[in-house]
Each structure stands twice: as C-alpha cells, then as structure tokens.
C-alpha cells in the first residue's frame, strides 16, 4: 500500500522540515522526487540523503515567490503526477505590529508561491488526465491564533485555493487537498526559540509543546505520513478536503 513507483513528485520547501520529510518518504515509496527549494546547501543535503537510501531525487534551486523561477523549474521537470506545496515562511505579529514589508513577504511566499506552482502543475496534469496536489495549510485556517495575523491570512488563502482547484479541475482527473498541522518540531522552531528566548529555549519549547492537548509537537515524519496517504492511489476518492493534524488542538482546546 501507498507505493508511488515511478510517479513524478514535485515537493517545494524540501530542503528542511516537513518538505524534507515528505521528499524522503516519497522517494522511499518509489517516487522520482523533484526537490524545489531556495537554499542550495539544504536541498543538496536532502538529495544526498535520498541517494544514500537508493532513492531518486533531482534538485531545482528555485524561489517559489518568483513566477519566472517556477516556470523555468517546471519546464525542466516536464511532468508532474504529484505536487506538494510545502514551502512557506512564518511571522509573529498582530495587525498593528505587522509592517507592509512583513505582510508582502508572507503573501509572496505563502500565497503567491502556491499559486505560482499550482499554475504550471495543473497544466501538466490536465495534459495527462490525472494528478494529485497537496497544499500545506494550518490550524490558523480554523482558529484565531494570537500574534499570527499575516500568517493566518496566508494559510486561509491556501485553504481557499485548495477548494477552488479541487472544484475547477475535478473533471480533469486532478485531486487537490490540504492539511492543517498544529506546531511541528522543525529547525524553524529551534531557530525561533534561540532568537526570541535565549537561555529559555527548553522552558519555552515545553510551553509550546503543551499547547497541543496531546502534550507535544508533531514530528515532520508524522505529517509526511498523512501527506503520503492523501497523495497515494489509496486516497483516490478524496478531494476538496482539509485534514487537521493537530494533536487535538482544534477540537479539544476548550
């Protein structure tokens, strides 16, 4: 079950975190994975780790916020059975403290970046009459999170784009879903704590972990497992859905 043998999978943000976990898992399941990331060193590391495990990976240094960069990358790729839009950035601040620069940065990567990848991927999938798209949304789609104004805006847009693509291209054999994680322990979290809470990293890590009723953050590999299922043939009846993967955050935080 959940094999992706010879499928062409494009994974953005695959240099670290969830994207990296997805790329490695897809490769282990037989996919030919195209790694798309702006960080050349990180993406090469991901490719090397996949190669060591006898997987197949091709790197594309690409800024998803640049439509021209993305078009050139997809021209090189040439075929896409699966697209996972994992590239994204975060921001802390409310509507008063969020600057125009902050807002534009979140929009350009998290919203426009997804659009930039959706457009060529959908065109390729229409030509072959099939395809699967998985977008990374967030629990911020469904609940109000303190000091996450711009981030929540961007992930709400990802959720809306998911539904739109699912509706518009269902007759072309294209499925489109999204998932909404709560906090996931990635290098971003460690960097955030080191920058904002020097000397208190362990204390704040525990506090953030306990905000999930399950009592911890998710591991990137756990998120990747759900993404694998939704992108596999076993999930062929699922489209236009958002799947919370949140340790009980949305329903049990009363």
pLDDT in tens, 33-50: 999 999 999 999 999 999
Residues contacting 21, CB < 8 A, separation 6+: 219, 220, 221, 223, 224
What pLDDT sits at residue 253?
82
Residue 113 scores a pLDDT above 70: yes
Residues contacting 92, CB < 8 A, separation 6+: 147, 148
Lowest mean pLDDT segment, chosen from 21-25, 28-32, 193-197, 220-224: 193-197
Enter the tokens of residue 202.
Answer: 């362990």
What is the set of domains in the chain, with CATH numbers?
8-182+220-248 (3.40.50.720), 184-217 (no CATH)
pLDDT in tens, 189-215: 898 888 878 999 999 999 999 999 999
Residue 254 scores a pLDDT above 70: no
What pLDDT sits at residue 196?
79
| Distance, first Cα to last Cα, the chain | 37
How many CB atoms sit inside 10 A of residue 56's CB?
Answer: 17
Calculate ∠ Cα 24-83-192, nearest 5°: 60
Q: Is pTM beyond 0.85 here? A: yes
- Residue pair 179/242 in contact by the 8 Å Cβ criterion: yes
C-alpha span between 121 and 90 (Å, rounded)? 24
Which of 58, 60, 12, 49 minimizes the C-alpha distance to 31?
58
Which residues does the annotation mark as catalytic? Answer: 151
Residue 166 scores a pLDDT above 70: yes
Distances (CA, A) of 194 to 92, 114, 203: 15, 29, 12
């Amino acid at each position: 079950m959940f094999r992706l043998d010879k499928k062409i999978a494009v994974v953005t943000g695959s240099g670290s975190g969830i994207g990296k976990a997805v790329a490695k898992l897809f490769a282990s399941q037989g996919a030919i994975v195209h790694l798309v990331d702006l960080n050349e060193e990180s993406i090469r590391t991901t490719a090397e780790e996949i190669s060591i495990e006898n997987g197949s990976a091709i790197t594309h240094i690409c800024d998803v916020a640049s439509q021209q960069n993305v078009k050139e990358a997809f021209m090189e790729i040439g075929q896409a059975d699966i697209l996972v839009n994992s590239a994204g950035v975060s921001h802390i601040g409310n509507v008063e403290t969020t600057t125009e620069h902050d807002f534009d940065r979140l929009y350009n990567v998290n919203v426009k970046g997804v659009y930039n990848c959706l457009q060529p991927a959908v065109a390729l999938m229409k030509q072959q009459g099939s395809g699967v798209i998985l977008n990374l949304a967030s629990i911020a789609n469904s609940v109000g999170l303190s000091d996450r104004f711009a981030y929540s805006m961007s992930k709400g847009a990802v959720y809306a784009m998911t539904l739109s693509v699912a509706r518009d291209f269902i007759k072309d054999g294209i499925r489109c879903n999204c998932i909404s994680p709560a906090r996931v322990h990635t290098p971003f979290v460690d960097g955030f704590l080191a920058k904002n809470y020097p000397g208190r990293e362990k204390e704040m890590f525990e506090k953030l972990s306990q905000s999930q009723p399950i009592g911890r953050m998710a591991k990137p590999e756990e998120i990747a497992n759900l993404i694998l299922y939704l992108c596999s043939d076993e999930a062929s009846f699922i489209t236009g859905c958002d799947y919370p993967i949140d340790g009980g955050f949305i329903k049990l935080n009363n």
